[in-house]
Amino acid sequence: MKGETKHKVQQMLKSARLRRTKPRSDILTALLKAHQPLTREQIAERIGACAPNKVTIYRALETFVAADIVHKAFVQNRTWYFELSHHCTADQCHPHFCCRCCGRTDCLHELHIPMTADSGGYIIQHQRVQLEGLCPKCSKSA
C-alpha cells in the first residue's frame, strides 16, 4: 500500500529525470492521494508538520508542470489548484466544476468536451475548461 505509492512517486521522478528529494516526493504523494486538485497550502497541510517551505513547494510544482507531471487545473480566489496530469491527454484536460452555492470543486472526468470546429491556424496545445453552477446536492436543496 504505502510502499506502492512511494514506489510510484519515485518512478515518476525518475522517468522525468528529476532529482529524488524528500520535498518533491512528499508533494507528489500528497497529490497522488488527493484525487483532486490542491493548492500550495493544502499540499502543505496534508504533508503536515515537516512540510517544505512554501517557496520550495512552488518551485517543485513549477518544475513538475514543466515536466508535464502536474497540471495547473484552475484558479479560484486568485490561487492555483494543482493536480497530477495522469488523467489528461497532451492537449486536453478534463473539465473542472465549481459550485456557486457551496463552493466545492469537482473533476468531471466523465464529461468529455469535443472540439469540433477547426481552429483556423491556431495550434492548441492545452485546453482548460472551467464550469460554474450548482452541484447535485445544492441543485436538489434549491
Q: Which does 102 bind (CB under 5 to 8 A by kind): Zn ion, a second copy, DNA, none?
A: Zn ion
21 vs 130, beta carbon nearer a second copy: 130
d(CA 18, CA 9): 11
The helix (H) or strand (E) run that includes residue 20 is none
Q: Which does 124 bind (CB under 5 to 8 A by kind): DNA, Zn ion, a second copy, none?
A: a second copy
Is residue 131 within 8 A of residue 113, CB to CB? The reply is no
Residue 139: CB atoms within 10 A of its CB come to: 11
In the complex, the smallest distance separating the C-beta of residue 22 from a second copy, rounded to whole angstroms, is 29
In the complex, the smallest distance separating the C-beta of residue 53 from a second copy, rounded to whole angstroms, is 21
Question: Of 17-25, 44-52, 59-67, 125-133, which part binds a second copy (CB under 8 A)?
Answer: 125-133
Extract the C-alpha cell encoding 104.
Answer: 466545492
Q: Which amino acid is at 30?
A: A
Q: Which of 106, 84, 71 is nearest to 30 (CA)?
A: 84
Query: Which 41-100 positions form the footprint of a second copy (CB under 8 A)?
Result: 75, 78, 97, 100
In the complex, the smallest distance separating the C-beta of residue 104 from DNA, rounded to whole angstroms, is 18
The full length of the chain comes to 142
29 vs 95, beta carbon nearer a second copy: 95
Q: Which residues contact 77 (CB under 8 A, 6 or more apart)?
A: none
15 vs 132, beta carbon nearer a second copy: 132
* Residues at the interface with DNA (CB under 7 A): 18-24, 39-41, 52-56, 58-60, 62-63, 75, 77-80
